[in-house]
Chains A and B, each alone.
Chain A
């Protein structure tokens, strides 16, 4: 069973979190910090499964965004791994080329007609500030340095 899904950026900030079992707020912060530490410290060439206390963490990195899923011990890691990718594909369809900023601005449920920030000068500025990382596929567009999610999908 999936216990939680976290979207964390490279700086360790939680962009989106969803818990499927209530966790106390204080414990939540500690848990997220632990999870982030576990996953972000791993290199690209390391496997995507981490054992953490009684949970297994399955994570995938897309550009500067990490998607971490906490699952119970009995779960099939590979299927969750694939599920994460399905999720990202859905996001990508919905936002048409999703980026970290989409995830952080569009937490509001319901389709919103305008995408604030798409052509927002402030955002462009922010995008420039972001340092391009070696592993992100960095494709600058006219609206500034938007980070694209890199699709690295092992066909399985």
Chain B
């Protein structure tokens, strides 16, 4: 034995440790992969040894390799082994490896629950710490559920080191197991006032993270945070708190008002830039949330902008960047205040840092006006020339176009200038945005009629110089511009000065190297040009010119006929034949020009993107009606899309069907829109400004451009946009001068008038008249345009589940508002018990409920009394306060309550933390109504306070809640509005809760839980409490052991189910070496650890002393889930007495029902309706007779046993939803009348549905 140890340690000496590995990798730069693979082989050998030190060393190396990107998931089990070492140094290595390598779908995680629990309760704080740290990285929903209670206990540990970690990890637990939030919240809140600053900071962090996602539930904490904010000196904490306030203020503008002052104080006083930045950001958020009617806040905005200016002017690039970032937030709401810092922002355009320049560019967008557009663009053009990187240059280009084209070319006064800019931009090399320039050219040329002549001239020059653009055109996108140029020249060829020259330019052989779609446009427009040329030439007496033109076409076109591009080929050959025919006619001296140009007659008018939709539906035409008789099978579905269960449910469908009213129509329209959006062949419309629909469709209603060309410009060659800037200046000066003259005249005329309206001072926006009077086609929106009501919350967002009402918890800190059913699962051995017979069930239930029910009634009455007296008290207090308020307004400005209020002379200095009793803190409304206000509105505040106070009382008075622990004066408006949603969640939560509890067999709690539920649901009290239910059913039993099992789908993996088996030792002997084995079928396989054969059994990871039970879980992979299945299996074990030990075995049959593949998934009614409408689901129904139980029991049973969730319940009807692990939707409508229950169901997999319904039937036939 001793020899073995010595040998082991000698072996160890030769093992590589981590340092050797790192060094080795560095020394094998050339064949690193090979070296590492030999290392991994060594590690595999080391892992096979029994010595834990060797294993730990191996795992340590693996962790490093994992960091380098090598897969080490095969060693997961070894990591667990090292984690469970008793020595801290090894344990730490194990936890580190686990935190790096494990994720939710690592199956060995299931084995760690007990180990982690042991470590959490270890007397050594470092064991606990390392477990907490590791757990935070790989916590799964199961771990979270099982360990939530332990972690919660640790939140009150004596050591701050542990408290801090426990608080932080609670966030991860909440994410994975949202049910834990409510029970854990009071303690979490306590930690906000922990004496240790580390713990306090951790709690602030967790709550901030939670509150950012679901702010409304945390509004009631505002006073507490306010206090922290004004008292804390820790900048990290302050930043978090201020961030939190930023999230809360949009919900409660009064809070914003209260915040402005302390925040501005902080801005003035702090030296930490990070804090300053956060304050500025939050002030901006606050000001955005406050309505604009707040004149006295312009000071705050000014302060922010000033501070930001300081940041931007700083030499530190980081500050500059952030300053610009924050500035862009202000820009959205207060563009004026930002515009005054134009100089600074333009200066930033010259910054050496590209990201800063980009931020500055973002800001420019909001700063342009008619007056400065040219100037700004000129500056940008300079940058374009200077810019080195193509990405930045492209960014500049798009920004220039964005700035110019924003809000329908609002700021452009001279379109010739704009065209010149566009043409100048084409000289950019290597830009990707040729198409952008092209579309702008097209847009302007089409929509601004007056500019066409100019545009055509420019485009002709472009075509002439096409070779300049197309240096290496395959790679550069600028040749896209030629597309626009060719089209404009062809379409508006009447404006061309020298069409013949352009035609020749378009038929150059080099054109054939352009991309196909551009060639196609060239060919088509060459034909248009040809028509124009013919027309002009036929007027002449000499017909040879015309014939030469035809010859030119005939000579050049064959090049395009040979094109590989089909479009080009087709157009070219078509036109070639046409020209040949024309030539024939010309030779016969027939005049053809008229006819040829007739081919291209008529103007192509701009059509608003939505114009197609504007075509009114003729009267009597119902687009939704069937043209042919619909196929009989799907008739009901299609005609009554919403009421899928129509035939069984006349109550529901009739009203909907008869009132095919606006709502219905709007809905149909919406559906159609959806369909169109998904249809790639439907020409989509882009969103645009709303406009009233005009009756006459077509072109008449498109405003025609009326342009008075005051600046006839003929700039030869390529234009220089700069010239326009000068010209524009001159023009404006002239205009100004004229205006002055006019005004003088006017003034002279009516000196005694109402006074001067126009100020001849600096030129204002309105004074600048555009050079061209431009009417630009405005785009239209359909009359039923709805604001997009997209839910911007991601359905996969884990925080959605954390939208839990915490108010009544928070506010009755002293009491115990949690329902028993909401308590966290406490560790207990899962006692193995066969499901009780229904009769027993009933008895147990009635016996258990009677006593507490009576009691609770009594309690209720007592509480009510309490409540009343409490309420009186608080009323009195408030009255007193109001009184005080009138006497001395300053008293109430900052503080409140009975404690002496700090007196302050000036309102502006009030930043007194509200030090008050917990009951008063809870009254958010009251706290907020005391916000500092200017003294002249004193009366108004009093009224506001008076109004604010009674409202909550009323709310709680009328609430249908009779929960005994229901807190008073707490129901804020917010919680009420979201009640509906919450109710649903609560219901589900309770369902789950109960399930869990049942697993733990806390029988005495059942009745309470049931009673609680009916109340919490807000439903009527007459509903009876639910009987206890269990999903565990007997697997096998003999004289030694009993096994019960439950099957659950795995949320993460569509092909996995987890079978939880509870083993109960029934004999007086020790059971050990249990091995669980199953004969796999083709469809279902037991997941075995890597390396074991397909017929090996799995060792159950525990032993059973007499009378003890424990649970083990086994993962199965399944392929098809539509059919139920049975798997045969065996459990072998050793029964050990003092004197003997025998091998025993027990056969069993695992029954995988279809139900076990379903996962309780919440579904909102609108999503549910959409699902049913989709028409992908096949229906089926079943009828149950003689079901004798209350409807809510029935529903609960279906929910519980078959993993459904209730979507909607109306009287004796309820729709329910569930989803299979492979994503099949199962929708069920349950209806009851008398003792008959009808269940209609729909699912995209009919076989699955049939089986599920059979199973539901089975469940109720057992009752």
On A, residues with C-beta under 8 Å from B are 1, 14, 16-20, 22, 25, 28-29, 43, 45-50, 74, 76-79, 81-82, 104-105, 107-110, 116-117, 122, 126, 154, 156
Contact = CB atoms under 8 A, between A and B. Distances in A.
Contact of A47 (B22, B137, B353): B353
A143 B698 CA distance: 85
A107 B322 contact: no
What is the predominant secondary structure among interface residues of chain B facing chain A? helix
11 contacts: A19-B137, A49-B355, A74-B212, A76-B243, A76-B274, A76-B278, A82-B274, A104-B22, A108-B60, A109-B60, A154-B318
Contacts of A45: 317, 352-353
Interface string B365-393: 00000000000000000000000000000
Given A45-B352, A47-B317, A110 B64 contact: no
Given A46-B317, A76-B278, A126 B273 contact: no
B174 to A, nearest CB: 13
Contacts of B343: none
A1 B240 CA distance: 11
Interface in B720-762: none
Interface in B190-232: 209, 212
Contacts of A28: 69
Contacts of B92: 109-110
Contacts of A50: 355
Given A117-B19, A117-B23, A122-B27, 16 more contacts: A20-B136, A46-B352, A47-B355, A49-B318, A49-B321, A49-B355, A74-B212, A78-B277, A78-B318, A105-B19, A107-B18, A107-B63, A109-B93, A110-B92, A122-B23, A126-B26
A129 to B, nearest CB: 11
Interface in B265-308: 271-274, 277-278
Contact of B19 (A46, A74, A108): A108
Contacts of A117: 19, 23
Interface string B587-623: 0000000000000000000000000000000000000
B316 interface: yes
Nearest to A123: B23
Tell which of A1, A104, A107, A122 has the most Cβ of chain B within 10 Å.
Answer: A107
B870 interface: no
Contact of B320 (A18, A47, A109, A156): A47
B67 interface: yes
B89 interface: yes
Contacts of A82: 274
Given A22-B104, A105-B22, A1 B356 contact: no
B1102 interface: no
B60 A74 contact: no
Nearest to A155: B271
Contacts of B497: none
Nearest to B238: A79
B693 interface: no
Given A46-B317, A81-B318, A110-B89, A76 B354 contact: no
Contacts of A19: 100, 137
Contacts of B93: 108-110
Contacts of A156: 271-274
Interface string B57-79: 00010011011111100000000
B209 A1 contact: yes
Interface of B: 17-19, 22-23, 26-27, 60, 63-64, 66-71, 89, 92-93, 96, 100, 102-104, 136-138, 209, 212, 235-236, 239, 243, 271-274, 277-278, 316-318, 320-322, 352-356
Contact of B103 (A22, A74, A109): A22
B355 A46 contact: yes
B229 to A, nearest CB: 15
Contacts of B96: 109
B239 A76 contact: yes
A48 B93 CA distance: 34
A134 to B, nearest CB: 17
Nearest to A112: B19
Contacts of A78: 273-274, 277, 318, 322
A14 B103 CA distance: 22
A31 B23 CA distance: 26
A156 B69 CA distance: 37
Nearest to B320: A47
A110 B235 CA distance: 31
Contacts of B316: 154
B92 to A, nearest CB: 5
B1040 to A, nearest CB: 41
A108 B70 CA distance: 17
Contact of A22 (B138, B212, B274): B138
B329 to A, nearest CB: 13
Nearest to A17: B67
B317 A107 contact: no
A48 B239 contact: no
Contacts of B136: 20
Given A20-B137, A22-B137, A79 B353 contact: no
Given A46-B353, A108-B18, A25 B71 contact: yes
Nearest to A21: B137
B861 to A, nearest CB: 48
A17 B65 CA distance: 11
Given A74-B212, A126-B26, A47 B274 contact: no
Contacts of B273: 78, 156
Contacts of A1: 209
A81 B272 CA distance: 12
A49 B69 contact: no
A127 to B, nearest CB: 12
A16 B63 CA distance: 11
A117 to B, nearest CB: 8
A25 B322 CA distance: 33
Given A105-B19, A108-B19, A77 B322 contact: yes
Contacts of B277: 76-78
Contacts of A107: 18, 22, 63-64, 67
Tell which of A22, A29, A45 has the most Cβ of chain B within 10 Å.
Answer: A22
A74 B242 CA distance: 12
A76 B104 CA distance: 29
Contacts of A20: 136-137
A156 B239 CA distance: 14
B318 A25 contact: no
Nearest to A75: B243
A79 B274 contact: yes
Contacts of B320: 47
A89 to B, nearest CB: 15
Contacts of B64: 107
Tell which of B70, B102, B137, B318 has the most Cβ of chain A within 10 Å.
Answer: B318
Nearest to A78: B274
A90 to B, nearest CB: 15
Contacts of B353: 43, 45-47
B725 to A, nearest CB: 32
A119 B93 CA distance: 27
A47 B316 CA distance: 8
B101 to A, nearest CB: 9
B276 to A, nearest CB: 9
A105 B25 CA distance: 11
A43 B111 CA distance: 49
Contact of A14 (B68, B138, B354): B68
Given A47-B356, A48-B318, A108-B60, A14 B67 contact: yes
B322 A49 contact: yes
A104 B68 CA distance: 12
A22 B212 CA distance: 22
A144 B104 CA distance: 46
B246 to A, nearest CB: 9
Tell which of A18, A20, A76 has the most Cβ of chain B within 10 Å.
Answer: A76
A47 B27 CA distance: 36
A54 B18 CA distance: 35
Contact of A77 (B17, B137, B209, B318): B318
